[in-house]
Structure 1
């Protein structure tokens, strides 16, 4: 038992030493955002020292309390530990950035509690803008924050009461949590799309393998009647059958093992073209989650499956007048059409992905009303 414990301890130590290397491999494009966050933490540490020193000197004058500085420093240190990967054993891509950002937001909220009146007034535009982004125009919290901003911008009535400070601190904290929740929804959406893409890919591969092993079970062949003779037309081969309708044995003899594979490859190519065309409607994002990429990858196995299923529907006579394609070229052409038609189904997923990205609002978000900011000084 003691040997097992010793081996487990050595394994944990070895993993902790290699964690930065493995985490950097799994991090990929999030490295730049990690360094941006690291720089932000260093900036806040310097600002926190200045705010704490000012709060210590002015304690009692503006209601500032320097005891929040210790907790704020602890939150910033927790953020630095998180992005160092030492306490991130799962190594999920970009998850550590969200956790670190939560610690940074907590430090910022604590700094609101300890900041002086001048500091609060200087940060009012950012505070009010963030509140406006995440609360409806008629929300009481948004209305009250606007009233506080107007009062603080009035030199004659500028006074930060303890209740106003508490309200601003709690409201901006809630706004940051709402933004984080919207970001988590984007991450959950990306994971769901990835799982669905993997499942569809497995299904497409299974169909191709089944078609290769049992080519005569459900052949993708048509038996058009031209003149007085019947023909057998498959995706990769064709032959003349005779004066009578071809039997199942005759159709199976013309079928090739690569029929399903060829149709799926054609469907994937058509879906890739549709995916490239759909990217024009997807705007970029600063989030460390590749929403446009996963949406584009979803279309590929979907196109392979719609190409096969569309041809099966035509072979079964589901589409009147199109149940007897008379050439291999026509089969391939319809496979292209059906592969591209996956856009009819995946466009709803595209719209949902873009809606989630729009929900994570930023300074340039189109969802922010364009009315006059309540933090602007009142006119004469």
Structure 2
């Protein structure tokens, strides 16, 4: 039991991603061992070259295993170990392609092309060349060494594009997290200042009582009558005295609840993600402090006469009602963040972008050897 609790305490990132990487490592290790047994009877120079490549591939798999181990990936890395593990697996897979004979590359072609279509644009020359190789390849005419190098080049570029996509998602999530933490700290600071000096910027109004000339000070959790002979300075003093330390907290809490409802409603349009980064959860958390702050700011704008005809609310219930509206209205601001998240997650899924990665010299060098 203690061992299980220790493992869960050190777990970092989605457990399914880690197990998927571990399964992929086992699969590739079995393929590498099979290639090693199949190539034992080749000539000594070629066997030495392939043995070295196989050893390098096995070393990459060991690095991937270390990257996803709980000891190497503490919780604060926030699933970065998943991306690192994939990088090492990609390197091992490329080495597997390099040591494979032409006939052994044929079964791998469908997976290679599916991966290229996912991460390269349809007009990318590397994808077009890979499709031509797939059309011409057969059991009687397997991919040549030059064609294999072209596939390796395309795979390297596509894998770099996938890494770039993952890093963009990670950077976006980190930005949203820091923004959420900053807004949360600001909301807490506002609540604390409201407790320390509730009268400095009271969330109160001084409407006139119907059919009389009297006024009343209305706050989120309190009311007080204002004498008819009170001048503006006295009215301000009475309003400030009516304010209570919990006014800001109540308004922020109401805005927070409204933001929770808005976050739940926004989930219907939020597509899930297969990345190890919790993008939907991060976006939902961003709405909470934003709703608390927009509720306070909205009430202050109404108190300052920013909304014509709504400069004086008649009861505490009206103040709370408008705090709900302003808390939900945070969706107007976080909607842009939601759209940005959707656009980042959509990159690469339909092969709409081509990474700007320098072309490797592998293909020209191979062409020179063939010439």
Shorter-chain-normalised TM-score: which range? 0.7 to 0.9
Q: Is the 8 A contact 1:221 1:255 kept in 2?
A: yes
Choose which of 224, 228, 231 in structure 2 pairs with 1:239.
224
Aligned to 1:187: 170
Cα distance in 2 for partners of 1:56, 1:359 equals 43
Cα distance in 1 for partners of 2:154, 2:337 equals 33
Q: 1:119-170 CA distances to partner (integer Å, 9 max, x unpaired)?
A: 21111111111111121111111111111111104x56x2422221111012
Cα distance in 1 for partners of 2:28, 2:312 equals 71
Cα distance in 1 for partners of 2:347, 2:71 equals 32
Cα distance change, pair 99–205 in 1 and its aligned pair in 2 (3 A) = same
Post-superposition offset of 1:288: 1.6
Choose which of 92, 104, 119 in structure 2 pairs with 1:134.
119
Matched, 1:36 2:20: yes
Aligned to 1:162: 145
- Of structures 1 and 2, the one with the larger relative CO (CA 8 A, separation 6+) is 2
Aligned to 2:161: 178
Cα distance change, pair 213–305 in 1 and its aligned pair in 2 (3 A) = same
Q: Is the 8 A contact 1:183 1:360 kept in 2?
A: no
- Listed as ranges, the matches of 1:23-172 within 5 Å are 24-57=8-41, 66-67=50-51, 68-88=53-73, 92-153=77-138, 158-172=141-155
Q: Is the 8 A contact 2:203 2:303 kept in 1?
A: yes
Matched, 1:312 2:300: yes
Matched, 1:274 2:262: yes
Choose which of 334, 358, 362 in structure 2 pairs with 1:346.
334
Find the residue that maps to 1:324 and give its secondary structure.
Answer: coil
Aligned to 1:218: 201
Q: Is the 8 A contact 1:34 1:83 kept in 2?
A: yes
Cα distance in 1 for partners of 2:83, 2:40 equals 32
Find the residue that maps to 1:200 and give its secondary structure.
Answer: helix
Matched, 1:300 2:300: no
Cα distance change, pair 27–367 in 1 and its aligned pair in 2 (3 A) = farther
Considering only aligned residues, what root-mean-square deviation do their CA atoms show, in Å? 2.6
Q: Is the 8 A contact 2:40 2:47 kept in 1?
A: no
Q: 1:91-120 CA distances to partner (integer Å, 9 max, x unpaired)?
A: 512122211111111000111111122221
Q: Is the 8 A contact 2:121 2:351 kept in 1?
A: no
Q: Number of aligned residue pairs: give it.
A: 345
Aligned to 2:276: 288
More deviation, 172-181/50-59: 50-59
Note the residue ranges of structure 1 that are not aligned, 5 or more in a row: 1-19, 369-380
Find the residue that maps to 1:247 and give its secondary structure.
Answer: helix
TM-score relative to the length of structure 1: 0.84
Q: Is the 8 A contact 2:102 2:145 kept in 1?
A: no
Cα distance in 2 for partners of 1:93, 1:21 equals 19
Aligned to 2:346: 358
Aligned to 2:319: 331
Find the residue that maps to 2:215 and give its secondary structure.
Answer: strand
Cα distance change, pair 111–28 in 1 and its aligned pair in 2 (3 A) = closer
